[in-house]
Amino acid sequence: MRLAHPRTGLSRSLRATTGAVGALLVIGGSLAGCGESGSRQDGPTGAPAPSVGASLMTAKGERAGSVSLRPVEDEVEVRVEAAGLEPGLHGFHLHERGVCEADARMEGELMPFSSAGGHVARAGSDHGEHAGDLPPLLAGDDGTATAVVRTGRFEVAELLAGDGSAAMIHADPDNAANVPERYVVPGPGRSGGPDADTLETGDSGDRVACGKVEPR
């Protein structure tokens, strides 16, 4: 899996209430019953893949919520509960390194959690197609958000391999490479389509909460 970019972003409509927000979405797979617990995914030794999770923390060291991931047949169910967010949509992704350093720097600039690298992504994929691209979180007026997602884009064992992975919440909405004013590049022979930056990141802005994905 390649480094997509340290800054991030997929846009889906969610069912919202004033307060906590809930959603059940499916990415890259068919919807299955919520109560199913069977798994066809295996760990590195052939044993059933473990459930994993992440404790989300802010750059100030404050608890911001939790993420759990468990194999369900050929998919992975992702559950997230978050608090302390600004009301509105927030990019939510899995990043390619399980390192959440609040004092991380990039090119000399303080950039909290940039140590987690870019999105979990397979070579040649653009934003919106990255394995780690998940639907955005919609925080209610009280700053809380909850969501349940099923995805077939990765397996639990992959999240623990190599440098591991991290769950990340961003400050801004994920535009899913859908910014009309950036569809045309100025200059001779103006070309259409999203520019390179939005194709890599979705422009979700700063990383406000990070958690290393670990066995539970």
Count the domains in the chain. Answer: 1
Pair 92, 114: CB distance under 8 Å: no
In a domain, 197, yes or no: yes
Residue-wise pLDDT tens digits, 115-154: 998 887 776 665 566 778 898 999 999 999 999 999 998 8
In DSSP terms, which residues pair with 207 in a beta bridge?
Answer: 170
From residue 107, alpha-carbon distances to 53, 98, 154 in Å are 31, 20, 31
User: What per-residue confidence (pLDDT) applies to 81?
Assistant: 98
Banded model confidence at residue 180, pLDDT cuts 50, 70, 90: low
In a domain, 100, yes or no: yes
φ, ψ of residue 134 to 5 degrees: the values are -120, 160
From residue 119, alpha-carbon distances to 9, 138, 163 in Å are 9, 20, 13
Please state, in angstroms and rounded to a whole number, the distance separating the CA atoms of residues 18 and 70: 29
pLDDT at 14 over 50: no
Mean pLDDT of the chain: 76
In a domain, 175, yes or no: yes
CATH number at residue 185: 2.60.40.200
Domain range enclosing 125: 24-33+57-215
In a domain, 94, yes or no: yes
User: What per-residue confidence (pLDDT) applies to 127?
Assistant: 59
210 sits in which H/E element: strand 207-212
Residue-wise pLDDT tens digits, 1-11: 333 333 333 32
In a domain, 47, yes or no: no
In a domain, 40, yes or no: no
Pair 139, 92: CB distance under 8 Å: no
In a domain, 163, yes or no: yes
Q: Is 193 helix (H, G, I), strand (E, B) or coil?
A: coil
Residue-wise pLDDT tens digits, 65-119: 999 999 998 999 999 999 999 999 999 999 999 999 999 998 889 999 999 988 8
In a domain, 16, yes or no: no
User: What per-residue confidence (pLDDT) applies to 120?
Assistant: 79
User: What per-residue confidence (pLDDT) applies to 47?
Assistant: 59
Residue-wise pLDDT tens digits, 152-176: 988 999 999 999 999 999 998 877 6
Higher-pLDDT residue of 136, 31: 136
User: What per-residue confidence (pLDDT) applies to 41?
Assistant: 56
User: What per-residue confidence (pLDDT) applies to 177?
Assistant: 60
First to last CA, the chain: 24
